[in-house]
Amino acid sequence: MQVLQRKWDRTFSRHSYGFRPGRSAHQAVAQAQQYIAEGYGWVVDFDLEQFFDRVNHDKLMGQIAKRVEDKRLLKLIRAFLHAGVMENGVVSPSVEGTPQGGPLSPLLSNLVLDELDRELERRGHRFVRYADDSNIYVRSERAGQRVMESVTRFITDKLRLKVNETKSAVARPQVRKFLGFSFTAGPEVKRTIAPKALDRFKARIREVTRRAKGVSIETTIEELAPYMRGWRSYFGFCETPEALVYLTRWVRLRLRAALWRQWKTPRRRRAALLALGVGPQLASNTAGSGRGPWYLARAKALSVGLSNAHFKSLGLPTLTDGC
């Protein structure tokens, strides 16, 4: 893979961003944003159905043979493609597709889809491709429908791949997601986090904080921290920081509610609040409240005792600066 990538990468399209040295998902999203800002306000969003499972071996080997003369290497690559998959100790042969997770598969996928890139370039389209996620930007819905029809035909007939019609669409970029991001409407196009990405983040945080009942808060934060840092590293690229501020505050509320459940009884809750520096009267009133944990997570006593600084001292990261 390392040897072939050095030789092949420089021959790939500049519109291709996935699994390539010096290229990233962020660059792909920024390029899509630029097209939209230039007035290409409709996107033809293609989803290739089970792409890695459907690559035709003979067609792929034909493309490789155009670039590789050494028959020993061709034999090795074909063996890689035919290696099969082991499930429960039983090996099933592979008759099509590239092994998912295999080190060579991303490079081979770019080779297969380079033919699509060149065809889109030949037609003069403005497009961005990241692995099997390809978006073409056009000026009108009618143009988008024409492009969808003709490019689907090319993918089916020439590449022998299948477009997932239920997941592909011609739509405004604001209602589609691209690599976890979406875009705002209006004269100034901004990158925003796609709703599904926000939902996945919340689902993961809920999963971890639900398990907090039987472990220390330090253990819970230890589990949350790397996920939140990784999420910030990727989605911090958005241009709507208010979403990151909201999510950071929401995580703290989840932790306050989890601790309230841990403390269980009014007596233990009062003692815990006093130990955290909450005044006696406020601690007593809050501990005796019949409200639920999620409601009380917003209470003044918990905001004072389990302050932002307190969570920071325990190692909880934030998703943006200054919150």
pLDDT 10s digits, 26-85: 999 999 999 999 999 999 999 988 777 778 888 899 999 999 999 999 999 998 888 766
pLDDT at residue 93, rounded to an integer: 61
Q: pLDDT value at position 217? A: 94
For 279-302, write each residue's pLDDT tens digit.
999 999 999 999 999 999 999 999
225 touches 316 (CB < 8 A):
yes
Q: Please give the pLDDT value at position 101.
A: 73
Model confidence pLDDT, tens digit, residues 219-242 = 999 999 999 999 999 999 999 999
Residue 315: the pLDDT is: 96
Higher pLDDT, 104 or 36: 36
For the cut 90, the answer to whether the pLDDT of residue 198 exceeds it is: yes
Predicted pLDDT of residue 81? 86
Asked if residue 90 has pLDDT above 90, the reply is no
- Choice among 89-98, 101-110, 289-298 with the minimum mean pLDDT: 89-98
Residue 21 has pLDDT above 70, yes or no: yes
Alpha carbons 10 and 21: distance in angstroms, whole number: 10
Model pLDDT for residues 139-179, shown as the tens digit of each residue = 999 999 999 999 999 999 999 899 999 999 999 999 999 99
The pLDDT score that the predictor gives to residue 67 is 93
* Mean per-residue pLDDT, 186-202: 95
Residue 258 predicted with pLDDT over 90 = yes
| pLDDT for 50 | 79
pLDDT cut 90: percent of the chain above it: 81
Task: Please answer whether residues 204 and 227 qualify as being in contact, where contact means their C-beta atoms are separated by less than 8 angstroms.
Answer: yes
Residue 204 is predicted with a pLDDT of: 97
Calculate ∠ Cα 177-179-182, nearest 5°: 35
- Report pLDDT for 69: 92
How confident is the model at residue 323, as a pLDDT?
Answer: 60
Stretch among 4-13, 47-56, 119-128, 203-212 having the lowest mean pLDDT: 47-56
- pLDDT value at residue 54: 78
Is the full-model pTM beyond 0.85? Answer: yes
> Is it the case that residue 312 has pLDDT exceeding 80?
yes
Q: Is the pLDDT of residue 89 over 70?
A: no
| Residues facing 192 on adjacent strands | 182
